[in-house]
């Protein structure tokens, strides 16, 4: 936000300077009166206020876009997270049906690890929800990668179960 404040102030000074310079150039052929200078300053102030209002509107639009983007990304993660829950439950059902005690033990161990990883993802997602909209991007990417890793692990386990069923 400090950078935006700097930009706004810089723009205001630039508008004032340019307006004053233009006024001085246009008045070079005639004597400049106090009223001319006051008129030029008033025009410059109005232009600066307009520039400040437009800059503020652009900042607000950007912030709104960022908030909406964050919410959309979190909804997408919530959907993937729910899918992971369903797939873990399917793995539990498969483990319970498996007659091979060794395979059941391995599946249950993998499920326990997946649930631990999933709990960490849930914790990180709550942390992302509490972050200011400017700060969440890198955290979101980390959680998204963790979700993808769990999805891949579930795929691997599912494929192993399918192979066991075929043998």
The answer on pLDDT for 4 being more than 60 is: no
**Domain spans of the chain?**
2-166
The answer on pLDDT for 134 being more than 70 is: no
Q: Are 139 and 72 in contact (CB under 8 A)?
A: no
Q: Give the pLDDT of residue 70.
A: 84
User: Tens digit of pLDDT for each residue in 114-125?
Assistant: 999 999 999 988
The answer on pLDDT for 153 being more than 80 is: yes
| CB within 8 Å of 44: residues ≥ 6 apart | 15, 16, 18, 19, 20
Neighbours of 133 (CB within 10 A): 16
The answer on pLDDT for 30 being more than 70 is: no
Mean pLDDT score of the chain: 79
User: Tens digit of pLDDT for each residue in 33-76?
Assistant: 888 878 888 887 888 788 888 888 888 887 788 888 888 989 99
């Amino acid at each position: 936000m400090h950078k935006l404040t700097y930009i706004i102030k810089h723009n205001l000074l630039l508008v004032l300077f340019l307006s004053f310079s233009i006024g001085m150039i246009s008045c070079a052929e005639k004597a400049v009166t106090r009223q001319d200078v006051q008129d030029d300053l008033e025009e410059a102030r109005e232009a600066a206020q307009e520039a400040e209002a437009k800059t503020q509107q652009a900042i607000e639009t950007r912030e709104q876009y960022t908030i909406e983007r964050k919410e959309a990304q979190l909804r997408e993660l919530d959907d993937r997270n729910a899918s992971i829950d369903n797939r873990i439950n399917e793995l539990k059902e498969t483990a319970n049906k498996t007659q091979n005690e060794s395979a059941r033990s391995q599946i249950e161990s993998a499920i326990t690890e997946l649930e631990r990883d999933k709990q960490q993802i849930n914790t990180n997602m709550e942390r992302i929800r509490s972050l200011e909209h400017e700060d969440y991007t890198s955290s979101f990417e980390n959680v998204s990668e963790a979700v993808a890793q769990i999805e891949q692990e579930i795929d691997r386990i599912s494929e192993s179960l399918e192979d066991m069923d075929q043998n």
